[in-house]
Amino acid sequence: MQDALPRMSYLSRLAFLRDRTRGRAVLHLGCSSGRCIQDRLDRNSLLHGFLSEETSELYGLDIDPGSLSRMRDGGFANLYEADVESLEKLELNKQFDLVLAGDILEHLSRPGSMLDGVKRFLRQNGELVISTNNAFGFHYQLRRWMGHYTEHFQHVCFFSPETLLHLLERHGYRVREMYGAYTEPPHTWKQKLEFALGKPLFKLAPVLAGTLIVVAALKSESNDAEPEIASAHDGR
């Protein structure tokens, strides 16, 4: 029988991930920003960098060797070149408290292969955390209606809360928590104005947020537990 969606709330993706990974051993899939890596390093805005401040142990995987090289030059360690759709080929015999797939699901041709490959890296009671674009994100629809919509050249799919639930269940996971989120705090006056106008709507209807965050566990380790109720993270 299909699980029901957990109750959603609206929060900051960065604040949530920092809180969730604090003091834990984490494997970060898609740890670089590809061609944007140097800009992220220069601006100190790389997610892997924020995670390194919180985790007890941090490993990173990415398919782009050039980005990994720049990250190593920047002082990051435990980095592996790997295709997340072929994790069975990765020579890393280690398990983690949490595996994070941050904003990579929309890039994959075979997301189920990644989900299957992650399982060997999860410790007992470990968590898989996924963040990805929301197919029902209000601002995507607004841009489409206004004729201003563009798409990242590497994106091949969008997910809704329901299709994420179905995908994870099909590959042996149970969704424990789900959130609507914003990716980065606003910086410019225009972004701050748009955020101030949109935040009340997204707090009322998190399903319209631009980003979805899902926390899942292997079904074999969560069958007897009730789904958690999303906490009212407000983000900062």
Q: What is the β-pairing status of strands 57-62 and 122-133?
A: unpaired
Alpha helices, DSSP H, located in the chain: 13-21, 37-42, 47-52, 65-73, 111-118, 138-146, 161-170, 189-204
pLDDT at residue 205, rounded to an integer? 85
- In the prediction, which pLDDT does 54 show? 97
Classify the phi-psi angles of 32: left when phi > 0, otherwise alpha if psi is within -120 to 50, otherwise beta.
Answer: beta
Alpha-carbon gap, residue 93 to 187, rounded angstroms: 41
CATH number at residue 131: 3.40.50.150
> Does some domain include residue 5?
no
pTM: 0.85
In a domain, 122, yes or no: yes
pLDDT in tens, the chain (236 residues): 557 888 999 999 999 999 999 999 999 999 987 666 777 766 777 899 999 999 999 999 999 999 899 889 889 999 999 999 999 999 999 999 999 999 899 889 999 999 999 999 999 999 999 999 998 877 766 665 666 656 565 667 889 999 999 999 999 999 999 999 987 666 677 767 777 777 888 888 888 888 999 999 999 865 544 444 344 344 33
Let me know if residue 228 belongs to a domain.
Answer: no
In a domain, 233, yes or no: no
CB atoms inside a 10 Å sphere around CB 114: 23
- Among 29, 40, 17, smallest CA distance to 80 is for 29
Domain-located, residue 227: no
Residue 147 pLDDT: 64
Domain encompassing residue 44: 10-220
In a domain, 107, yes or no: yes
Question: Which of helix, strand or coil describes residue 41?
Answer: helix
> Is the residue at 234 inside a domain?
no
- Report how many domains make up the chain: 1
Asked whether residue 156 is assigned to any structural domain, the reply reads: yes
Residue 86 tokens read as 């072929």
